[in-house]
Amino acid sequence: MVEARYLGASGLKVSEVIYGNWITHASQLDDDDALRTVRAALDLGITTFDTSDNYANTAAESVLGRALRGHRRESLEILTKVYFPTGPMGPNDTGLSRKHIMESINGSLRRLGTDYVDLYQAHRYDFETPLEETMQAFADLVRQGKVLYVGVSEWTADQLREGHALAKQLGFQLISSQTQYSMLWRVIEGRIIPTSADLGISQIVFSPMAQGVLTGKYLPGEPVPAGSRASGDFEGAKYMQRYLQEETLRAVQGLKPIAEAAGLSMPQMAIAWVLQNENVTSAIVGASRPEQLAESVKASGVKLDADTLQAIDAVLAGVVFDDPELTETLAFRKRLV
């Protein structure tokens, strides 16, 4: 079963392995398959579910809400986000203005079929809205009971410090940072993780398998597998190009004997690797089939020894992204509408 950990300097516990529905629900999967996968997650001991109002332009939240209907609400941790454009994408249908935040939480609660969300996350930093306005809106939602805890996603270290200070002044906690992190993408190690540790913020990481590259299924010198995320028009394909270089794919193949020696599959080792970091609370995984989840959750509780970690570093030397400045590449200086 999946173990649980505290999220930041709070009393909230969440699953080490979180089920996320970014690309799958209302996109890759039909509703029946999505419902089966969520129920499989529950059966495997996953209690924490991550979504966002912009996934499939609000439809992914609706699917998740239907899948969780009838399950004891107090036994779940439901996480969602606000920032990106939704609905008809008018001038106020995006960002972190008070108007958009207040309207977005009401829509999310309606679609998810709940009175509150456990964690509400600022999906990006909004350079066009005063941070004081954003944090005051979050504080009001906490006081209204619609939001229990507040987190952010892909904020810089300086933004985390400023947001954390304002949250403290307003009487609530900023407890989490949702960031991309994997054996190949380590940009948060230089600044985000030390800052977060200092502030009592922990990481919920996404793409622990580098969009599937760390499963080893993408082979050097060969076309990408048909139907994979790197093929066709899948939303995540554009984020994978940095990993699909020959040198990187060759290095990833070198991880296979390390995983075998550790008694793990490649996906399990990738998830276990991110969970070794003391500032990482959870890893978000997606799945299009229940059996994928059954494999992923076996990484919960796994401890990789020092020799394994050193071997991984040696194999991937020269292909890892670790420049802290790359966090800036994930920001949006202007809203998308």
Q: Are 332 and 54 in contact (CB under 8 A)?
A: no
CA dihedral 11, 16, 22, 27 (to 10 degrees): -130
Strands 13-15 and 4-6: antiparallel
Q: What are phi and psi of 223, to 5 degrees?
A: -60, 155
Q: Are 215 and 228 in contact (CB under 8 A)?
A: no
Beta-carbon contacts of residue 219 (< 8 Å; ≥ 6 apart):
249, 253
Instruction: Please name the residue that has the structure tokens 């939240």.
Output: 61
- Please name which of 26, 15, 235 lies closest in space to residue 119, comparing C-alpha atoms: 15
Q: How far apart are CA 192 and CA 277, in angstroms?
A: 13
Catalytic residue among 6, 19, 55, 243: 55
Q: Are 175 and 150 in contact (CB under 8 A)?
A: yes
- Please name which of 43, 329, 6 lies closest in space to residue 173, comparing C-alpha atoms: 6
Quick one: which H or E segment has residue 247?
Answer: helix 246-253
Q: Please give the C-alpha separations between residue 241 and each of 65, 74, 238, 304, in angstroms, as whole numbers.
A: 33, 40, 6, 28
Q: How far apart are CA 265 and CA 14, in angstroms?
A: 24
Is 149 labeled as catalytic in the residue annotation? Answer: no
Q: ∠ CA 177-320-174 to the nearest 5 degrees?
A: 5
Q: How far apart are CA 103 and CA 134, in angstroms?
A: 13
Active-site annotation, residues: 55
